A and B are shown apart, each in its own frame.
Chain A
């Protein structure tokens, strides 16, 4: 390697700072994993807030949890799991050079992502209607009346919903970014840019998508399943 000239004959898509495609691929992969590590800490701050207030205000958290739609939440979880499948199959299609399959799978992924966002939108709208959005028009009165068995204070209930909107909102923002990334990938895949030798963007885009799925895998039980036991 001592006499490696600086100007290598350029492999297609090899950036100048890298020695070869393998180094470039490994760098991209490590870069994405490190970025996902930062995302774990980013969401982690909100998980701490959730932990502390669930510990302090369990009854209010239980009531708030009951008030969000478990069916829609479960469906959304299933939607994301399906989208992770299409992403994984998409990476495989890229590895095998199957352009049309890749494009189809990427498109389905986008559709599933949009479906998730639509359902999330419906859920948020319901919360808006029920005056559960934190702020001036917040009211926990309906929950206090609906669940007399649970001792509910209004202020901590607002904390539950603040965290609900912050966590699902930030997650939805990441989904939107993900859909944008996948639109970009779909376009380039359709143009034939990805081959068995070079499909790193598909792989690292996939890593990002799976991560967003994993965040939801935790948000679902934490927000929706706090306490669904039948009340006496």
Chain B
């Protein structure tokens, strides 16, 4: 393998300037991506720490590890940290920031300084959240339901609300940057139908971020005002409607799950054709499905409220709409599978994550349809069935897509290869650990174990023990990449510009790229995923 690239002497975005100021005041989208990577990795482990405590408590039926109030805080903080400080930023802020300008052939995003501001807003919000955690967290659940959060909880609801309010603006500005960049800064010849599907996914995600997050922002603001000034707009004792809060909250928080999954789907759309050496089957269908998911995702929010007191007629409408949103997701799964069919498959680490994604996302998605059915939902809502459902999508789907993307683009980002055997081992560990953790939870939920309870009847213990055992294996699977990615930055084999033989503008530049991404503005004359023209690399790259 030609590893003669003199990375030590050639200037690129990592070595172009040293010192903390050059990082903290950077406007280079690639450096900002790494700043985000550091921040969200820290919070991933904080959220994971809360998860481990939850699983430890649930090893035994009795509430013997922590008190009930503490348990409420554990699952609340686990949810808030994981959603707002890991999942929502993850792929857009790390991979999106790094790749979007390169994939469209631009030197940077449309508004580099606003990009840096987005990171600082997340840092500020993370600081407030850390303060909130250290001073005892909140016990309202990540969902902040009123009037408990506004009138009865004795925890730091206002701080948590302010923190997430600020994080929301970070998210909005990132989405804004991406939409303007994709519309206005594509290289000559790069028409919409030649764009990588990752860009289509990021674009759809950005639309959700722009149109949904502001509603969360106003909702949290109203909660803060209500708690601070005793307003009463969400308090039934004073004529308010708690369901109004839920409508406003879920109007964002349901599309938010599509913010978390669409970018992962985009990553999978990049990995599958590369490791099948085939064009994506039904490119237009996949691209339009991304947009459809973004639009339809806004029409289904009250399926979180089926038993909360909404009218039966609206429940029927939302149930029907929830079924329809599954269709574009299913289209994607079919098309990825069809892409692999008769392809020349290579089971490199990114491909393992992508294939794991397809299987686990499908299970998670199908169980979502169970929940969308009113009759079944009455039985399994607020049980572990729901917990398993969303973890299959968020962890089995989104996180695996994120890890697959990190592995796929790691050579581009760092100029190094990670050790392939360790990558495969970690991927398999994650897959096994994940299923052992969460599949028992489907059964538990169906059998009736409620969520957010810190003790449970003894007959549920075996499944809970299995779940906790799985979570320790999963933790190992997550720690491994952190270790070997860091190791590879110093000791990893030096990577080619295109070790995977992948299509896409980002692979046409150096690994790591120069600060301005390209030596010359590219001009695109080929369709996306032209794998019939790109030769497969002779050897499998191993780190």
Contact = CB atoms under 8 A, between A and B. Distances in A.
A148 interface: no
Interface string A141-164: 000000000000101101100110
A34 B238 contact: no
B462 interface: no
Given A1-B188, A27-B184, A38 B211 contact: yes
B180 A31 contact: yes
B239 A57 contact: yes
A37 B106 contact: no
Give the bracket for the number of chain B residues in contact with chain A.
35 or more
A42 B233 contact: no
B520 A38 contact: no
Give the bracket for the number of chain A residues in contact with chain B.
35 or more
A42 B108 CA distance: 29
Contacts of A35: 176
B248 A48 contact: yes
B108 A2 contact: no
B45 interface: no
A98 B437 CA distance: 69
B212 A2 contact: no
Contacts of A129: none
Interface stretch (B192-200, B224-232, B338-346, B487-495): B224-232
B233 A163 contact: yes
Contact of B521 (A2, A48, A170): A2
Nearest to B184: A27
B112 interface: yes
Nearest to B230: A135
Contacts of A41: 211-212, 214-215
A219 to B, nearest CB: 15
Contacts of A73: none
B248 A158 contact: no
Interface string A33-58: 01101110111111011001100110
Contacts of B188: 1-2
Nearest to B234: A49
Given A49-B248, A166-B225, A43 B183 contact: no
Given A4-B520, A27-B180, A30-B180, A45 B214 contact: yes
A30 B241 contact: no
Contacts, number: 132
Given A1-B523, A17-B106, A45-B218, A26 B184 contact: yes
A12 interface: no
Given A31-B111, A42-B214, A134 B184 contact: no
Highest count of chain B CB atoms <10 Å: which of A37, A38, A39, A49: A38
Interface string B523-536: 10000000000000
Contact of A38 (B214, B225, B229, B519): B214
A5 interface: yes
B149 to A, nearest CB: 16
B348 to A, nearest CB: 33
Interface in A124-145: 134-136
Interface in B254-307: none
A87 B520 CA distance: 41
Contact of B520 (A3, A31, A153, A158): A3
Highest count of chain A CB atoms <10 Å: which of B109, B219, B232, B241: B232
Interface of B: 101, 106-112, 172, 176, 179-180, 183-185, 188, 210-215, 217-219, 221-222, 225-226, 229-233, 238-241, 244, 247-248, 251, 516, 518-521, 523
Q: Which 4 pairs of residues, A with B, have the shortest CB-CB distance?
A: A45-B218, A42-B214, A17-B108, A41-B214
23 contacts: A2-B521, A4-B521, A6-B516, A6-B519, A17-B101, A17-B106, A17-B107, A17-B108, A17-B112, A18-B185, A23-B184, A27-B110, A27-B180, A38-B210, A38-B213, A41-B215, A42-B214, A48-B248, A53-B239, A53-B241, A155-B232, A156-B239, A162-B232
Interface of A: 1-6, 15-19, 23, 26-27, 30-31, 34-35, 37-39, 41-46, 48-49, 52-53, 56-57, 134-136, 153, 155-156, 158-159, 162-163, 166, 170
